Each structure stands twice: as C-alpha cells, then as structure tokens.
C-alpha cells in the first residue's frame, strides 16, 4: 500500500515537473508576428535565430540579407532570447517612409540606449523624439552645425589635422622605400585628433599624429625590406586620454555583439582597461571644461568660442540666466553630449576614409580623374606650387569630387542597420506591426548597393507611392563603384554641357534620413573632403598586391576593411603642374 502511494507520488511529481518544463518551453518559444515570413526552424528553438546568426561570417550582413534570401523585403528574426521578434526591412523607399514620413508611428527604440547608454547615458542619440529631454538637448547643440561654426571653428582645425596626416605619410613614404604600409591606425589617429580639436580646441602640438610623426622620424628603417614585404613601422605610445576616447567605439561594439548589451558593458567595466578608460574620459571632460571656463573668465567680453565645448558652455550660461538658476557646467548632460560628439565624429569618418583609400587604389582611373578635377578647380594653388587653402576647399564646388565622396559613402556601407520601435499598432507593407515591435532598417543591400527585391506598389502607404519618382532607382550597374552616376549635364550660365553634381541621382542612406538622421553630417563631409583633397594633392595611391587588398570586413562599431594598406608615391610640384 505504502509502495503504491510512493509510486503514485513519484509519477505525479514527474508529471508536474514535465508540465512545468513544457509550460516554460511554451513561454520561451518564439512567437512570430502573423503574416510576416520567418525561419520555421527558429520558432521551435528557445534561442530562435541566434545559432544561424552566430554561424554567419558577417552577422550584420546576414541580418539585412535575410529578406532577400526569402524573396521579400520584410522578414522577422528572433535575435534576442525572451523577446518578441525583430522585423527586418530591406528597401530604400520603405526606410525613407518610416524615418521621414511616419515619425509618429516609429521612434528610436531601446537598442540605441542599450548600446550607448553605459558610456554616455545622456547623449541625445539614445533618446526617443518624444522624450521631454530631447528638445532641450537639441537647443544645447544647435550651434555646432551652423555655417559660422563650421567655417570659423571646425574647418581650420580639420585642415590642420589633415595636413598633419600628409606630413606623417610623407615621412612614411620616404622611409618605406616603395613598400606598402598599414593605413588604418594613422587614419584613426588623424580623425581622433580632428574631432578632439573641434570639440576642445586642442592645439596641434598635442596631437597623436604629431607624436607619431616625431616617433617615425626617429625610426631607422630596415634598408632591405625584401620583395613583397610590408614596411612595418612602430607605433608611438598613445596618451591615456586619447586611449579613453578610442575605447568608446570598443565599448559600443561589446554591446552590439551581445544578447544582453547592458550587462555585457557593465561586466566589461570590471576589467582594468575599460574601467581606466571610463575614468579618463570623464576626467578629460572635466579638465577641458575647467580650462574653457578659465579662458572665458580671463577674456571677459572679448571671449569668442573656439570649440564645441565652448558653445555648449555658452548655451548653458544663457539657459541658466533665463531660468534664474546657477549654471551647471559640469552636468552629465554636457559631459555625455561631448562624449557622443567624439564618438560620432571619429570612428565613422576613419572607416569611410579607409574604404576610400582602397577604392582609389583599385580604380586608378577614378583617382586620376579626381586629381585632375582638383587641379583644375584649384588651378591657382597648382600654378603657385602650394596646397589649396582651407578657404579654397570650402568655397569652390568640384562636381566630380562631390560624386566621388557620395559614391564612396554609398558603397562603403560603414553603418548597415538602424533601429526603430513601433510606438503604436501599425503596419508595414500591409503587415500588422504590434506596438513595441523593434524594427531594423537596412542602410545597404537591396535597392541601395544591390538590385532591389520587387514590392507590390499597393502595399505601400499613399505618401510613399506619391514620393516614388523623387529619387529614381539605380540601374543594372548598382553593384559597381561609379562616381559618375552622381553627375548630370545641363545648361549653366549660358553654357551647354556643364557637368554638375546631382545629390538626388539615386538612393543613398549613408547618413540615414529624416529628422533623426546623422547630426554631424555637415562636419563629416568637411572632414572627408579636406582629408581626401590633401592626400590626393600630395600622393598617388598605387595598387597593392592581392594579399594586402580584398574586400573582407571586420565588424566593430562600424564595418571597417580587414586589410587597409597604402603604397604611396609623392607628387612633386613639377609633376602636379604637368598634369593635363
């Protein structure tokens, strides 16, 4: 009797445990949004699509390519355990519609806050547009992309640091003895110097590139590098403050790669490297703020802002005076907006420049035509045997130069996905999208850098259909690198056949789109064009051997080239003058 009772109790316990496990499985099992295609294998696994994504060579490319793999532009993936599915949209017109015309239905979601929130929790990039703080932050930052700021503060600093990069590469070209050398680190140091100079007004003598140049000048090269051998230069030690800024994209990348981004960053801060960088970042902002305040106090009425931080402090003075309160110059708001400014103006620009150097090496005809266009546009500088000045670069339009920049941004695809969240029950291409659903919009791939996937026109919104012809679709050459696609010929000033730049020639989302597009777009273009112009004015970027080239990518915060080597030949004034 007792034995039967024990057996019955055991069986009941097993059944109860089985029921609990089954209910747990049902709770964890991914539940798809009805009507949107998905991987059927993923819905029977608690971790959804994670295994397939982790097995892919490039995770971001795997994500944005899934719609095409299933012959659709909308798809759902189960990317995070214990969460609802993420909807992927790979279509230029839908991305434009969602980001530009449906901003009340879709807003910045949690993903941006999860990835950047530990490093700069008060950075406006992490905020939804409806966040009451967002308007205040926009007011605080509004001076930083004005024509006056760009021309008076930013452009001179950009030019100085681009010239310093030319100086560094001039030393390396001389000592490399015709061998290629790695360019990635130099480009990152240069853009870091530039954004620090614009943000803080840091003097050129303090620059990382200047320190690196002096280090290389003292370096005695190996005179017999050997055939096909890369010239490997030593790297100068980097200042702890600059290292702390280089750590920002690394921290964000840790979050991007993790299924638990906030936790991963907090764990990373337990390591001495990241903890030290966090301390130095905050110390840097405080130190620079103290210096700026001393400068303001000493100059009095003669004070004029010389950096982005100066403008933020001035804005805080005005705002506090209007509100009848004491100014808070060391607030987390100012600190995090400066950190965000450093992040946005450094890593992305360096990555674009890295890809651009590869395109110039691969497409020698484009490089030659661009150099000729620059010489013709700045003919006075060429005739006088000097570089074009910062003022000349910023005031003279060079259509083919604009085309090369735009095409380089299009094909580089350094940022491939942006995140939005549905703020209400809505729809995309006729599919119901529940409130709170995360949406990943592709900034590359179908319709942007490869042929589009067909979409039923009636499934689009009325506003999207009305805007169909504003930006024409690319043709069959969409996958090619062709700067001339951005040019058109028209009549100008009574002259026929004038070549002009057409920014609306076709789809490009390098800076995203809509009211939440890249805040620093104008500064980014100044940085890119100044650096490109001075490099091509002074050097020929020659082709490197296949083992040092290729188009493999390394996924960090942005998609940077795995290999980025340059083989330079200095262009003398006599050679420049001889160009046709």
Residue reference for tokens 């003398």: 572
Binding site: what residues are annotated? 518
Structure tokens that stand for 409 in this block: 């941004």
Q: What is the sign, positive or negative, of the torsion defined by CA atoms of 237, 243, 246, 250?
A: positive
Residue among 477, 501, 481 at smallest CA distance from 489: 501
CA distance 357 to 544: 11
Count of alpha carbons within 13 angstroms of residue 48, beta-carbon side: 22
Structure tokens that stand for 312 in this block: 């933020």
**How far does the chain reach from its first CA to its final CA, in angstroms?**
107
Phi-psi region of 328 (alpha: psi -120 to 50; beta: other; left: phi over 0): beta
Count of alpha carbons within 13 angstroms of residue 8, beta-carbon side: 5
DSSP 514: S
C-alpha distances in angstroms, 198 versus 157, 215, 438? 6, 24, 35
Residue among 289, 400, 340, 404 at smallest CA distance from 123: 340
Chain-centroid distance of CA 75 in Å reads 25
**Between β-strands 86-89 and 438-442, what pairing exists: parallel, antiparallel or unpaired?**
parallel
Binding site for heme: what residues are annotated? 518
**Between β-strands 106-107 and 417-422, what pairing exists: parallel, antiparallel or unpaired?**
antiparallel
């Amino acid at each position: 009797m007792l034995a039967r009772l024990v057996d019955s109790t055991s069986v009941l316990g097993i059944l109860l445990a089985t029921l609990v496990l089954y209910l747990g499985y049902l709770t964890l099992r991914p539940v798809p949004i009805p009507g949107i295609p998905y991987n059927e294998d993923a819905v029977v696994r608690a971790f959804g699509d994670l295994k397939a994504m982790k097995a892919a060579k490039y995770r971001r490319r795997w994500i944005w390519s899934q719609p095409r793999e299933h012959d659709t532009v909308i798809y759902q993936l189960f990317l995070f355990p214990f969460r609802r599915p993420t909807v992927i949209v790979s279509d230029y017109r839908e991305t434009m519609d969602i980001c530009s015309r449906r901003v009340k239905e879709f807003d910045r979601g949690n993903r941006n806050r999860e990835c950047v929130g530990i490093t700069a929790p008060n950075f406006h990039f992490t905020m939804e547009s409806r966040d009451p703080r967002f308007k205040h932050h926009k007011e605080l930052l509004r001076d930083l992309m004005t024509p006056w700021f760009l021309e008076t503060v930013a452009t001179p600093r950009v030019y100085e640091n681009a010239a310093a990069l030319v100086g560094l590469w001039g030393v390396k070209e001389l000592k490399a003895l015709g061998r290629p050398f790695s360019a990635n680190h130099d480009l990152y140091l240069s853009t870091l110097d530039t954004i620090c100079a614009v943000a803080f007004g840091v003097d050129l003598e303090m620059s990382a590139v200047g320190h690196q140049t002096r280090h290389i000048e003292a370096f005695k090269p190996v005179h017999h590098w050997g055939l096909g051998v890369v010239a490997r230069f030593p790297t100068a030690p980097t200042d702890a403050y600059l290292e702390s800024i280089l750590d920002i994209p690394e921290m964000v990348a840790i979050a991007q790669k993790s299924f638990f981004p906030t936790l991963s960053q907090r764990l990373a801060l337990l390591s001495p490297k990241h903890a030290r960088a966090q301390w130095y970042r905050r110390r840097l902002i405080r130190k620079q703020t103290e210096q700026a305040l001393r400068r303001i106090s000493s100059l009095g009425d003669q004070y004029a802002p010389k950096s982005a931080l100066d403008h933020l402090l001035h804005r805080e003075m005005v705002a506090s005076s209007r509100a009848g309160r004491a100014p808070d110059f060391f607030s987390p708001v100012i600190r995090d907006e400066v950190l965000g400014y450093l992040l946005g103006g450094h890593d992305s620009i360096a990555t674009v420049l890295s890809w651009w150097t590869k395109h110039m090496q691969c497409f020698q005809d484009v490089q030659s035509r661009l150099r000729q266009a620059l010489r013709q546009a700045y003919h006075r500088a060429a005739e006088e045997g000097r570089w074009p000045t910062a003022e000349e670069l910023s005031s003279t339009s060079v259509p083919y130069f604009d085309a090369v920049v735009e095409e380089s941004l299009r094909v580089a695809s350094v940022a491939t996905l942006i995140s939005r969240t549905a703020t209400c029950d809505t729809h995309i291409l006729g599919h119901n999208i529940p409130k709170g659903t995360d949406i990943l919009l592709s900034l590359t791939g179908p319709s942007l850098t490869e042929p589009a996937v067909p979409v039923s026109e009636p499934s689009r919104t009325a506003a999207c259909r009305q805007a169909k012809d504003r930006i024409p679709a690319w043709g069959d050459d969409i996958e090619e690198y062709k700067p001339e696609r951005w040019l058109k010929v028209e009549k100008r000033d009574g002259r026929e056949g004038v070549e002009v730049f057409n920014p609306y020639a076709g789809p490009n989302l390098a800076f995203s789109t809509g009211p939440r597009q890249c805040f620093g777009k104008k500064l980014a273009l100044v940085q890119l064009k100044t650096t490109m112009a001075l490099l091509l004015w002074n050097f020929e970027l020659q082709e490197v051997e296949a083992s040092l080239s290729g188009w493999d990518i390394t996924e960090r915060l942005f998609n940077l080239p795995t290999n980025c080597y340059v083989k330079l030949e200095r262009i003398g004034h006599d050679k420049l003058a001889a160009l046709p």
